């Protein structure tokens, strides 16, 4: 009951698999868990710690041997809003500046501070060629002395979002670092002042030359203006031109009005001249004519009534008739008077239009003549005023430049002078050690993980299930004491019941035996549909431990009192006879060559009553070629007499016999050496067996250690589970 429980606990993990369309197992896609990487780091912990310690110690040794450097800082304040000491336009020019222009200005000042004009006076004043080792090493020849000065320890920076410039200098001497930083700041201010003086002097010289030329030009333009005024006999012809312009404008207005009046009177005259009564009524005298016509209408009505009631000789008739005739005469006279008046008005309008037209023409000629003179006068006057204004402006600027050149620029000033530093800034021991620790830790961890990722050997059962689509049916621990003769699985006891095997060796061997029993049960107890009667134990390449696994698997099966037959099919490198101390006078080679029936080649295994062995026998070149023809009959007859036939074969890669053996057994067990067998080689073996339609039982990971994968944590249980009892005998805990 204890064995069954232990087998269940020690059974290898087989992850969930799914079956594809053709019946091939497809591994479930799973990423490596975080615990796997933790295990990788734990596995390489001593290497990682050793690498980190070496890097930290090396950093400490290198940092302790470096020459300490002291850094002093002088702060310069650039106040673009400070009130200027300048006069004139220069006093307001600096306050009108955008943030982008300020950045450009500060960047320019940084380059000026690093220039040769600023640094060379500092080098000469403080004799840095003699006292500064780093500078003296860079200056060797006269040509290099005339080259631009570069101070390797100087650094000029601008803190973000400020108008400050930090002049920093590093030197092995703390006092020299402070002196150089202050000297560079003073040299920068002096250089700025000197530039302004030189610029003002050059500008003054240039302006004086220009001023002489401008004075002569101003005098010539003033003289031409005076001569023109004398010719025109006026002081300001512009005023007279304005009067002429207003007069001409008024005459044009009167002329246009007269022209309109003439047109109207001409139309009225033509209408009245044609004898139109309506035209006469529409004239200015039409009101009186209209009244006469109304009176005529009333007289005609009375005359008509008189004609109706009276005769021609009646006084009322004659009176009415005389009144009508009188009104008709008055109307005719009034019409003739209107015609004459309209004609007179028309002639007057024509005369007035002609007179105004003549005056407009004369005034326009006078205006154009005067206007031409006025343009010339304006041009001469403008030239004279412009020359005088430019001359006055130049004189003013020369005076301002001379005054401003003597002012010190108060917008750039030293805010904080450098002081002698107390502590070196290089090397920073704690920072260097911290960086060395962090970087070395990162490199060591990355190297450990990368080495695990690029490892192409078979180690982890889960990885085998995913990549090779097969199951790991057993894992066997690495045991160094397995070489030599195979001992009984049950430890021999003396007369007192004490084990004859040393305790430590018994623990080690017992752990391997328990793993073999687990493998035995994994193979034989999981196949319920078909019982395995014959199993081929092989490997992908030599030195994988397949013969050891086959021998121990046969011994473990025989231990359960099952008749077991072990056939050593590796005719090139036989090993079964070594494990059981058997002679090599007969074996499988003699059976295949027909020299001996297979039953007569069987040996009884010492200490294993139910285990029979057919060793490889004497060496024979023809025996390997006869395996494919005779071995199937031998296996067929053997499975009728034995509960299990285990066949040990050569490696599958490079030898033809294992393929023939695999086609004639119930199952194939592939042994791999954990941490050494290449995954591609096992994949090629599985592909070959699948083409042969061989039944691959699974893989066996041999020589497994706890350091190979986090899946093997339980291997410590094998030795810890056994402990000596109170009488000194080994027993199960």
Identify which of 69, 183, 178, 177 has the alpha carbon closest to the alpha carbon of residue 123.
183
Residue range 367-394: average pLDDT?
74
13 contacts: CB under 8 Å, gap ≥ 6: 461, 462, 472, 711
Residue range 129-141: average pLDDT?
61
* pLDDT at residue 613, rounded to an integer: 93
Q: Does domain 2-26+455-483+490-732 have CATH number 3.40.50.300?
A: yes
- The whole-angstrom distance between residue 545's C-alpha and the CA centroid of its chain comes to 54
* pLDDT at residue 192, rounded to an integer: 85
DSSP calls for 334-353: HHHHHHHHHHHHHHHHHHHH
Confidence of residue 101 (pLDDT cuts 50, 70, 90): confident
Residue range 632-653: average pLDDT?
90
The tens digit of pLDDT for each residue in 534-550 reads 999 999 888 888 888 99
The Cβ of residue 236 has, within 10 Å, a number of other Cβ atoms equal to 13
Residue range 684-690: average pLDDT?
89
Q: Give the gyration radius of the chain's Cα atoms.
A: 65
Residue 501 has pLDDT above 50, yes or no: no
Rounded Cα–Cα distance for residues 224 and 209 (Å)? 24
Confidence of residue 187 (pLDDT cuts 50, 70, 90): very high
Rounded Cα–Cα distance for residues 213 and 208 (Å)? 9
Residue 165 has pLDDT above 90, yes or no: yes
Least reliable range by pLDDT among 30-34, 107-111, 191-195, 425-429: 30-34
Tokens of 179: 């002196």
Rounded Cα–Cα distance for residues 95 and 618 (Å)? 109
Tell me how far CA of residue 377 lies from CA of 146, 259, 281, 381, 562, in angstroms. 63, 36, 59, 6, 140
Rounded Cα–Cα distance for residues 733 and 721 (Å)? 6
Residue 673 and residue 702 in contact, taking contact as beta carbons nearer than 8 Å: yes
* Tally of residues, the chain: 733
Residue 69 and residue 424 in contact, taking contact as beta carbons nearer than 8 Å: yes
The strand pairing partners of 477, in sequence order, are: 704
Tokens of 555: 């011994």
DSSP-H helix ranges across 602-678? 627-638, 657-662
Residue 342 and residue 350 in contact, taking contact as beta carbons nearer than 8 Å: no
The Cβ of residue 150 has, within 10 Å, a number of other Cβ atoms equal to 13
Identify which of 211, 205, 127 has the alpha carbon closest to the alpha carbon of residue 173.
127
Confidence of residue 440 (pLDDT cuts 50, 70, 90): very high
The strand pairing partners of 701, in sequence order, are: 475, 672
The Cβ of residue 237 has, within 10 Å, a number of other Cβ atoms equal to 21
The tens digit of pLDDT for each residue in 290-322 reads 677 777 777 777 777 777 777 777 787 777 778
Tokens of 252: 């044009």
Tell me how far CA of residue 286 lies from CA of 291, 293, 365, 467, 576, in angstroms. 9, 10, 43, 128, 161
DSSP-H helix ranges across 274-314? 277-282, 286-309
Backbone torsions φ then ψ of 515, nearest 5 degrees: -65, -40
Residue 7 has pLDDT above 50, yes or no: no
* pLDDT at residue 644, rounded to an integer: 93
* pLDDT at residue 233, rounded to an integer: 60
Confidence of residue 8 (pLDDT cuts 50, 70, 90): very low
Helical (H) or strand (E) element with 264: helix 237-273
Tell me how far CA of residue 291 lies from CA of 12, 274, 278, 397, in angstroms. 144, 22, 14, 89
Identify the residue with better confidence: 537 or 200. Answer: 537
Strand bridging mode 611-614 / 603-604: antiparallel
Rounded Cα–Cα distance for residues 4 and 2 (Å)? 5
Residue 659 and residue 688 in contact, taking contact as beta carbons nearer than 8 Å: yes
Tokens of 449: 């993980």
On average, the pLDDT of the chain sits at 76
Residue 273 and residue 338 in contact, taking contact as beta carbons nearer than 8 Å: no
Rounded Cα–Cα distance for residues 647 and 565 (Å)? 8
Helical (H) or strand (E) element with 723: strand 722-724
Tell me how far CA of residue 481 lies from CA of 477, 487, 504, in angstroms. 12, 11, 11
Domain boundaries of the chain, sorted by first residue: 2-26+455-483+490-732, 34-66+427-454, 237-397
Tell me how far CA of residue 237 lies from CA of 73, 101, 388, 574, in angstroms. 72, 51, 21, 137
* pLDDT at residue 402, rounded to an integer: 66
Residue 52 and residue 444 in contact, taking contact as beta carbons nearer than 8 Å: yes
Complete edge-to-edge strand list for the sheet that includes strand 154-157? 154-157, 164-171, 70-78, 412-416
Residue 206 has pLDDT above 80, yes or no: no
The tens digit of pLDDT for each residue in 572-629 reads 888 888 888 888 888 888 888 887 889 898 999 888 889 999 998 887 777 777 787 8
Rounded Cα–Cα distance for residues 656 and 569 (Å)? 12
Backbone torsions φ then ψ of 584, nearest 5 degrees: -115, 20
DSSP calls for 57-110: HHHHHHHHHSPPBEEEEEEEEE-TTSPPS--TTHHHHTTS--HHHHHHHHHHHH
Rounded Cα–Cα distance for residues 479 and 504 (Å)? 12
186 contacts: CB under 8 Å, gap ≥ 6: 414
Rounded Cα–Cα distance for residues 579 and 723 (Å)? 28
Residue range 665-691: average pLDDT?
88
The tens digit of pLDDT for each residue in 48-71 reads 999 999 999 999 999 899 889 999
SS3 content of the chain, % helix, strand, coil (to 5): 60, 10, 30
Cα torsion at 309, 311, 313, 318 (round to 10°)? 50
Range among 86-95, 325-334, 353-362 with highest mean pLDDT value: 353-362
Tell me how far CA of residue 191 lies from CA of 93, 101, 160, 291, in angstroms. 21, 22, 26, 108
* pLDDT at residue 96, rounded to an integer: 45
Cα torsion at 593, 599, 601, 602 (round to 10°)? 150
Report DSSP state, residue 715: G
Residue 727 has pLDDT above 60, yes or no: no
Identify which of 79, 53, 14 has the alpha carbon closest to the alpha carbon of residue 414.
79
Per CATH, the number for 237-397 is 1.10.287
Tell me how far CA of residue 54 lies from CA of 51, 59, 217, 644, in angstroms. 5, 8, 86, 57
Tokens of 421: 């530093």
Cα torsion at 236, 239, 241, 247 (round to 10°)? -150
Residue 219 has pLDDT above 90, yes or no: no
Helical (H) or strand (E) element with 698: strand 696-704
Strand bridging mode 564-568 / 644-648: parallel
């Amino acid at each position: 009951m204890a064995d069954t429980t232990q087998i269940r606990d020690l059974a290898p993990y087989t992850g969930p698999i799914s079956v594809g369309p053709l019946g091939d197992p497809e591994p479930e896609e799973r990423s490596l868990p975080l615990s796997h990487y933790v295990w990788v780091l734990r596995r390489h912990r001593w290497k990682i710690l050793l690498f980190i310690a070496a890097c930290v110690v090396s950093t400490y040794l290198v940092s302790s041997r470096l020459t300490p450097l002291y850094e002093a800082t002088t702060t310069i304040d650039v106040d673009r809003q400070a009130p200027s000491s300048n006069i004139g336009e220069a006093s307001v020019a600096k306050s009108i500046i955008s943030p982008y222009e300020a950045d450009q200005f500060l960047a320019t000042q940084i380059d000026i501070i690093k220039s040769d004009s600023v640094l060379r006076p500092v080098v000469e004043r403080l004799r840095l060629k003699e006292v500064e080792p780093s500078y003296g090493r860079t200056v060797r020849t006269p040509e290099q002395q005339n080259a631009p000065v570069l101070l390797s320890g100087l650094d000029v920076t601008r803190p973000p979002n400020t108008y400050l410039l930090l002049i920093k200098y590093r030197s092995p001497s703390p006092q020299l670092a402070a002196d150089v930083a202050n000297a560079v700041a003073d040299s920068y201010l002096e250089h700025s002042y000197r530039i302004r003086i030189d610029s003002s002097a050059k500008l003054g010289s240039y302006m004086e030359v220009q001023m002489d030329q401008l004075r002569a030009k101003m005098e010539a333009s003033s003289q031409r203006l005076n001569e023109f005024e004398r010719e025109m006999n006026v002081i300001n012809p512009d005023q007279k031109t304005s009067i002429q312009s207003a007069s001409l404008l008024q005459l044009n207005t009167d002329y246009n009005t007269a022209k309109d009046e003439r047109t109207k009177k001409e139309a009225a005259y033509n209408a009245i001249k044609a004898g139109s009564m309506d035209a006469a009524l529409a004239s200015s005298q039409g009101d009186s004519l209209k009244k006469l016509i109304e009176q005529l209408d009333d007289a005609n009505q009375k005359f008509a009534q008189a004609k109706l009631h009276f005769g021609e000789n009646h006084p009322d008739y004659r009176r009415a008739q005389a009144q009508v005739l009188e009104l008709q005469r008055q109307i005719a006279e009034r019409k003739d008077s209107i015609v004459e008046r309209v004609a007179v008005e028309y002639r007057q309008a024509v005369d007035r239009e002609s007179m105004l037209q003549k005056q407009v023409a004369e005034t326009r000629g006078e205006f154009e003549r005067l206007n031409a003179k006025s343009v010339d006068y304006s041009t001469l006057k403008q030239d004279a005023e412009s020359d005088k204004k430019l001359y006055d402006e130049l004189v003013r600027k020369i005076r301002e430049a001379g005054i401003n050149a003597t002012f010190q620029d108060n917008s750039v000033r030293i805010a904080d002078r450098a002081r002698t530093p107390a502590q070196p800034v290089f090397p920073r021991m704690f920072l260097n050690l911290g960086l060395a620790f962090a970087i070395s830790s990162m490199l060591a961890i990355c190297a450990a993980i990368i080495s695990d990722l690029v490892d192409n050997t078979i180690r982890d059962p889960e990885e085998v299930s995913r990549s090779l689509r097969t199951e790991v049916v057993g894992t066997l621990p690495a045991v160094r004491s397995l070489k030599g003769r195979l001992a009984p699985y049950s430890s021999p006891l003396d007369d007192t019941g004490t084990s004859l095997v040393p305790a430590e060796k018994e623990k080690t061997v017992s752990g391997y035996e328990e793993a073999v029993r687990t493998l035995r049960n994994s193979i034989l107890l999981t196949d319920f549909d078909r019982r395995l009667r014959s199993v081929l134990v092989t490997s992908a390449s030599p030195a994988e431990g397949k013969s050891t696994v086959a021998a121990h698997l046969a011994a473990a099966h025989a231990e359960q009192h099952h008749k077991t037959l072990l056939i050593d099919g590796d005719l090139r490198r036989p090993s079964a006879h070594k494990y059981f101390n058997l002679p090599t006078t007969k074996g499988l080679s003699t059976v295949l060559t027909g020299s001996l029936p297979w039953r007569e080649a069987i040996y009884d295994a010492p200490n294993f009553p139910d285990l029979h062995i057919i060793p490889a026998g004497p060496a024979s070149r023809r025996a390997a070629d006869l395996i494919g023809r005779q071995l199937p009959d031998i296996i067929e007859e053997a499975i009728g007499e034995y509960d299990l036939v285990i066949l040990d074969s050569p490696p599958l890669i490079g030898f033809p016999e294992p393929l023939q053996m695999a086609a004639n057994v119930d199952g194939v067990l592939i042994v791999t050496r954990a941490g050494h067998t290449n995954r591609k080689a096992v994949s090629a073996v599985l592909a070959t067996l699948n083409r042969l339609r061989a039944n691959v039982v699974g893989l066996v990971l041999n020589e497994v250690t706890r350091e190979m994968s986090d899946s093997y944590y339980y291997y410590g249980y094998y030795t810890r589970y056994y402990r000596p009892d109170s009488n000194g005998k080994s027993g199960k805990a």
